[in-house]
Amino acid sequence: MIHARDITRTFKTKTGPVEAVRGLSLDVAEGELVAFLGPNGAGKSTSVRMLTTLLPMSSGSANVAGHDVAREPALVRRKIGYVGQKTASGPYHRVRDELVIQGRAQRMSEAASRKRADELLEMLELTALAKRDCASLSGGQKRRLDVALGLMHTPAVLFLDEPTTGLDPHSRANLWEHILRIRKETGMTIFLTTHYLDEADTMAERVMIMDNGTMIADDTPERLKADLAGDAIRVDLTSPGEVTTAAEIAQHLPQARDILPNGTALTVTVKDGEAVLPFFLRTLQDKGIDIAAANVRRPTLDDVFLGLTGRSLRENAVAA
């Protein structure tokens, strides 16, 4: 559904050209839910704007929903829905009227627009708000209306650009419940950018990570965490003198790295920590080392980014 090769975007500034996106290539299959992550300034929004025809590419090629983005922008727009970072509805328009106007803008007939508006109002639990002015809606209600606007013409691909930013946890969960249900019912392809790493981790089947205008990782969340971050095993011992011996034993664990002693505690990063931990504990006990406590911490996508770049995605999310 999305096929891009070597797309770039260079902006001219007073201090010289700025390469916002540099040779980005990606593929998204029909029906996939893909999360597109990266710190502020990584080039995510610029990439999305190019894929959605809102910004011309400096070079490269892209095909979305069967149409060339550069040569057939109007046809691409008929096949995609776009939910941007800001509220799309007019503050003094009524909710249902806003949807009908969107349908007419997508060349739907008056009757088809009204029928589709009513379907989406019910689907997104907005029917009771149909005659309300958009300005009177809560943040969560406005975002559901934004999703409805993006779905009016039944697009093949839905682009969600940080759809839950600024929402409280309950509203975020509610919005995602609706999005996932719609996706299950329609098989729609979803391309998501988000600063909430838990959304990408739990919702997406594949995660792409961008930094400094280029793609630096592309895989399932589980494989990225296992291969690029790993599980952190921590053992607390009863004596500081035993930590050195435990660290030497840890060096022989499968794919062990980042062996960090700290007082009476030792942390070691391995692949598949839950399988390795029992063997490690038995080996320590065979050497007469007393263990006070032990646990395995599963990695996060932030650990993946930290391992790749030395910086934290979470810090950028908080700043945003």
Question: Is 10 domain-assigned?
Answer: yes
Indicate whether 246 and 206 sit together in one domain: no
Look up the CATH number of the domain holding residue 246: 3.30.70.100
Is residue 317's pLDDT more than 80? no
What are the strands, taking DSSP E only, across 220-319? 231-237, 257-262, 265-270, 291-297
Question: Is 91 domain-assigned?
Answer: yes
pTM for the predicted model, two decimal places: 0.84
For 238-276, write each residue's pLDDT tens digit.
988 899 999 999 999 988 988 999 999 999 999 889 999
Residues 69 and 26 sit within 8 Å (Cβ to Cβ): no
Indicate whether 168 and 251 sit together in one domain: no
Indicate whether 113 and 204 sit together in one domain: yes
Indicate whether 187 and 246 sit together in one domain: no
Indicate whether 243 and 208 sit together in one domain: no
Q: In whole angstroms, what is the distance from residue 125 CA to residue 5 CA?
A: 39
Share of the chain above pLDDT 90, in %: 70
**Domain coverage including residue 254:** 231-298
| Mean pLDDT computed over 31-44 | 91
Indicate whether 167 and 65 sit together in one domain: yes
Helix axes 95-105, 139-151, angle to 10 degrees: 30
Indicate whether 154 and 276 sit together in one domain: no
Indicate whether 163 and 142 sit together in one domain: yes
Question: Is 181 domain-assigned?
Answer: yes
Indicate whether 266 and 244 sit together in one domain: yes
Q: In whole angstroms, what is the distance from residue 44 CA to residue 65 CA?
A: 20
Q: In whole angstroms, what is the distance from residue 251 CA to residue 315 CA?
A: 31
Question: Is 315 domain-assigned?
Answer: no
| Mean pLDDT computed over 1-23 | 95
Question: Is 309 domain-assigned?
Answer: no
| Mean pLDDT computed over 13-29 | 94
Is residue 318's pLDDT more than 80? no
Question: Is 306 domain-assigned?
Answer: no
Look up the CATH number of the domain holding residue 41: 3.40.50.300
For 72-87, write each residue's pLDDT tens digit.
999 999 999 999 888 8
Sorted by sequence, the CB contacts under 8 Å of residue 140 that are 6+ apart come out as 167, 168, 170, 171, 172, 174, 175
- Reading the block at residue 250, the tokens are 């840890």
Alpha-carbon torsion (159, 72, 114, 101), positive or negative: positive
Question: Is 312 domain-assigned?
Answer: no
H-run or E-run covering 56: none
| Mean pLDDT computed over 275-289 | 94
26 backbone dihedrals φ, ψ, rounded to 5° = -160, 160
Q: 3-state DSSP call for residue 48?
A: helix
For 205-251, write each residue's pLDDT tens digit.
999 999 999 999 999 999 998 888 889 999 999 988 899 999 999 99
CA–centroid distance for 25 within its chain: 17
| Mean pLDDT computed over 105-110 | 93
Question: Is 269 domain-assigned?
Answer: yes
Which of 194, 220, 246 is the last residue in one of the domains?
220
- Number of structural domains in the chain: 2
Indicate whether 145 and 164 sit together in one domain: yes
Q: How confident is the model at residue 196 (pLDDT cuts 50, 70, 90)?
A: confident
